Amino acid sequence: MKMMNIFKAALIGCAVIGTTPTGAFADKLRVMTGAPSGTLNVPMNRAVVVESDEPFAEISVANAEIADISTLSDRSIYVLGRAPGRTTMTLLAPDGSLITNVQIQVTPDITEFKERLKQIMPGEGIEVRTANDGIVLSGVISSVTRMERAVELAERYAPGRVSNLMNIGGTQQVMLKVRFAEMARSVSKNLSSSVGFLNDINVIDPATGAIDAATNWSGGSSGTLIGAANGVTGALTAKDDALGAIKFGGSLGGVELAVVLEAMEQKGVVRTLAEPNLTALSGQQAKFLAGGEYPIPVQTPNGIVIDYKPFGVELEFIPRVVNGDQINLELKAAVSGIDSTVSYAIDGFSLNSFKRREASTTVEMRDGQSFAIAGLLQDDFQDLNGQVPWLGDIPVLGALFRSMDYQRAQSELVIIVTPHLVSPTSGAALILPTDRVRVPTEAEMFLFGKTFGGTTKPQSGGAGEVAKQDFQGSYGYVME
């Protein structure tokens, strides 16, 4: 009898080994008569053996598409998971009585996925679970890049059925510092001269050849000067009111001579600097505008409506902490202002143009590193020479019949961005620019002429350290 039992057990083991797919192993669930049966978890495309403590005569499964069953003996059942889902297997005794109902839960096979995940990303605290026919990823991961790789790998095993519940560890708040620096230099020089001859009747302008019979300069009276490059007026022998213009003249017999010399040099330097700072959570968009809105009339079928165009310092960016302290920045930065030198009139409205410097790009750098994302060097040169034909070519004296105009404009622009990983700080360490001054007392105002009182900077603690930095520094956050 003992030898017969051993022989039956050997046949059952051979049947299990022969039926189980390659690389799979068969787990076991023991069913006791009259005892509640637990849930049988079967990985998809793998097998589990169910053993009953008494022989069964009939066996059935509610949904054969989820689990397939076959009998190994009158006490053993081979259950193969086919598709993710839940179904019920019923065992009946030879007398028709119910032995038990077994709940079969078929889940995706995540054993191989867990092994591959540990091989590709060792040291990451990723937890893998199944939910119905999908995979659930949870735990804390070090970076966005690694999280995306884990999700992509899970999609290989459960396409379209991956739930990402992972959290990213470390600091995920980014403060972006943008610096706009622009220098513009301009030089303008001009030299011109005009000569005029007149008698009691006519005035002749050699520069244009025009004859003015209505002008009489006898006695050195004021009148329109002949050949003045900019229409300079005044007495013949006096210095003109216009800057850089000098008039002088004399008479020779009945003919008077008038000479106007004009020389002008202009130099200008413009410095533009803006430093907007903005903080945002990794993956979230942040916007910043310091300026205003300019009203612009727009013609519509219902009449003219007013549209508003923003101007000033604008910053818009999306930071992404991809790996530790490595930050991906998708940003758009601009500095704009109203240009009053260019205007346009329409339907009674006078509109000004805008001067705008803008950069839009995506860069990647580490915490505290800087990147010059945009730069511009511009050099404009203009030279103009005007003269009376033939007379302007005469050596030395020809300078009286020529005018020279020289203009040059240079500009240099650079935009630098610097990201920082930051975290909130204690409120006791915060200080505002308005906290540094106080309203003056009557004695300070009327006796000493002070417009504000003494500073009220804290002298100790975290706020005192920040206050020592004057109006520069990082307010409200702690640099990592």
Please indicate, yes or no, whether residues 84 and 118 belong to a single structural domain of this protein.
Answer: no
Please indicate, yes or no, whether residues 375 and 279 belong to a single structural domain of this protein.
Answer: yes
Please indicate, yes or no, whether residues 152 and 93 belong to a single structural domain of this protein.
Answer: no
Q: What is the CATH number of the domain that holds 140?
A: 3.30.1340.30
- Range 426-432, long-range pairs (CB < 8 A, 24+ positions): 426/462, 428/461, 428/462, 428/463, 429/461, 429/462, 429/463, 429/465, 429/466, 430/463, 430/466, 430/475, 430/476, 431/457, 431/458, 431/463, 431/466, 431/467, 431/475, 432/475
* Enclosing domain of residue 351: 177-182+269-381+409-422
Provide the pLDDT for residue 272. 78
The residue out of 122, 138, 168 marking a domain boundary is: 168
Would you say residue 201 has pLDDT above 80? no
User: How far is the C-alpha of 158 from the C-alpha of 134, rounded, in Å?
Assistant: 6
Is residue 158 included in any domain, yes or no?
yes
Please indicate, yes or no, whether residues 102 and 117 belong to a single structural domain of this protein.
Answer: no
Residue 196's pLDDT band (boundaries 50, 70, 90)? low
- Higher-confidence residue of 221 and 299: namely 299
Is residue 292 included in any domain, yes or no?
yes
Does residue 75 contact residue 51 with C-beta atoms inside 8 Å?
yes
H or E element, residue 11: helix 2-19
Is residue 392 included in any domain, yes or no?
no
% of the chain beyond a pLDDT of 90: 6
Please indicate, yes or no, whether residues 322 and 413 belong to a single structural domain of this protein.
Answer: yes
Please indicate, yes or no, whether residues 153 and 294 belong to a single structural domain of this protein.
Answer: no
Task: Give the tens place of pLDDT for each residue, 154-171.
Answer: 888 888 888 888 887 766
Is residue 256 included in any domain, yes or no?
no
Please indicate, yes or no, whether residues 163 and 276 belong to a single structural domain of this protein.
Answer: no
User: How far is the C-alpha of 141 from the C-alpha of 121, rounded, in Å?
Assistant: 10
Residue 86's pLDDT band (boundaries 50, 70, 90)? confident
SS3 for 71-98, per residue? Answer: ECCCCEEEEEECCCEEEEEEEECCCCCE
Q: What is the CATH number of the domain that holds 59?
A: 2.60.40.1080
Does residue 351 contact residue 383 with C-beta atoms inside 8 Å?
no
User: How far is the C-alpha of 19 from the C-alpha of 348, rounded, in Å?
Assistant: 91
The residue out of 75, 91, 107 marking a domain boundary is: 107
Is residue 11 included in any domain, yes or no?
no
Please indicate, yes or no, whether residues 59 and 119 belong to a single structural domain of this protein.
Answer: no
208: its two tokens: 């244009």
Total structural domains within the chain: 4
Q: What is the mean pLDDT of the chain?
A: 74
3-state secondary structure of 14: helix
Task: Give the tens place of pLDDT for each residue, 302-356.
Answer: 888 888 888 888 999 999 888 778 889 999 998 888 888 888 887 777 888 888 8
Please indicate, yes or no, whether residues 50 and 131 belong to a single structural domain of this protein.
Answer: no
Is residue 240 included in any domain, yes or no?
no
Task: Give the tens place of pLDDT for each residue, 28-62.
Answer: 666 666 556 677 888 888 888 888 888 888 888 88
Provide the pLDDT for residue 395. 82
Please indicate, yes or no, whether residues 413 and 298 belong to a single structural domain of this protein.
Answer: yes
Is residue 456 included in any domain, yes or no?
yes
Would you say residue 479 has pLDDT above 70? no
pTM over 0.75: no
Please indicate, yes or no, whether residues 414 and 282 belong to a single structural domain of this protein.
Answer: yes
Residue 217's pLDDT band (boundaries 50, 70, 90)? very low
Would you say residue 173 has pLDDT above 50? yes
Does residue 223 contact residue 240 with C-beta atoms inside 8 Å?
no
Owner of token pair 């809105």: 293
Would you say residue 234 has pLDDT above 50? no
The residue out of 126, 143, 168 marking a domain boundary is: 168
256: its two tokens: 């008077």
Residue 339 CB coordination number (10 Å): 12
Task: Give the tens place of pLDDT for each residue, 109-127.
Answer: 788 888 888 888 887 888 8
Please indicate, yes or no, whether residues 86 and 140 belong to a single structural domain of this protein.
Answer: no
Is residue 237 included in any domain, yes or no?
no
Q: DSSP states of 187-240 as a string?
A: EEEEEEEEEEEE-SS-EE-TTT--EETT---GGG--EEPTT-TT--EE-TTSB-
